[in-house]
Amino acid sequence: MNRSSLTLAESMRKPRKRGQVLLGGRFAGSQTNKPIAISCGVLVLGLAFASNLFAAVPVDIFQDMQSGNDGVLLTPAIMNASSHGGGSTWGINGQMWVSTRNARELPGSVTVDAVIYTGKGGTRTWRFNDNNQLNYVKCTLPGRYAKITVACYYATGVTIPWVQFDSINFLEVTHGTWGVLQVETEDKGGPYLRCHSASAGSKTTYSPTHVKVTVGKPYWVNLHFDGDAGTVSGAVFDPADGFAQVGTTMVAQSTVEARVYGSIRFGRTAAHGNHPDATTQSYFDNIIIDFTNGAFPLLPSSGNH
């Protein structure tokens, strides 16, 4: 496992490990100047910690996926061992697997409960088959939220025509609505990503724009629910192009005053039918969730983009 976390207290007693933020060090000096050296060292330590903390993006949940061996079936034990953030648990419906394909580092550092995670050196992703409906993992949420954002790497394998597969889903939203990031291939130019929701009376809505993506390529994707405004928004960023945004921000109309609660699902999350001819696989990596601030877009920055 390669989780990049370190608290200030831990830095005083643990050696540096690969991928961790360096918050402390050894300071040499004579017996005469040792107290001054220690004082300077504490000051440098504090400044380094503060610098890293302010540079990192605060989120409530970070799933680094660095548990389990390549090819094993995902279980709640494997998923919860690699999850950071209190009040949430991970479960599964159907079958998904640990994989070493399409692994990428976080775009930048995040903090969860004042612990910094750089997301460097990860070698694991989660893989699922594109053929079966209602095949997903889910993260439970500890409360109800007017604004919430989920962001992660997503690489779709969908190539068959004329499908609408719900890939990320805010489930159990009040006022009969929902929030979905959907992959669809409704013409030969796809696959595309788009937002999907419902307005008052559960009237189905879609974003008027969609974003063309490349099969098998990991993108950093966002799905944002704003119950105060009554919208569901999505954005796609290309890590191969300095995380530049791909296309435009997608917005689907939802229901004003709706609140998200229950869980967020990842995979083939809806009952749109099995597709035995969909013989491909799709992948998720490095999931982060922000319900305290509901920041959007949610794109941790390393300072290089």
- Structure-token pair, residue 126: 């989660």
- Give Cβ neighbours of residue 45 (< 8 Å, ≥ 6 apart): 8, 11, 12, 23, 24, 25
Find the Cα–Cα–Cα–Cα dihedral 295, 108, 1, 264, rounded to 10°. Answer: 20
User: pLDDT tens digits, residue range 5-51?
Assistant: 443 334 333 333 333 343 333 333 434 454 544 444 444 344 444 44
Residue in the block written with tokens 């680094």: 64
d(C-alpha 269, C-alpha 254), whole Å: 19
Taken in order of first residue, the domains within the chain and their CATH numbers are 5-55 (no CATH), 57-290 (2.60.120.200)
pTM of the model: 0.83
Residue among 241, 296, 271, 262 at smallest CA distance from 57: 296
Whole-number Å distance between alpha carbons of 214 and 219: 9
Q: What pLDDT digit, counting tens, does each position of 59-74 carry? A: 999 999 999 999 999 9
The DSSP symbol for 153 reads E
Say if CB 288 and CB 150 are below 8 A apart.
Answer: yes
Taking only the tens place, the pLDDT of each residue in 242-262 is 999 999 999 999 999 999 999
Q: Could you tell me the CA-to-CA distances from 23 to 1, 58, 62, 145, 257 in Å, in that order?
A: 21, 18, 21, 34, 43
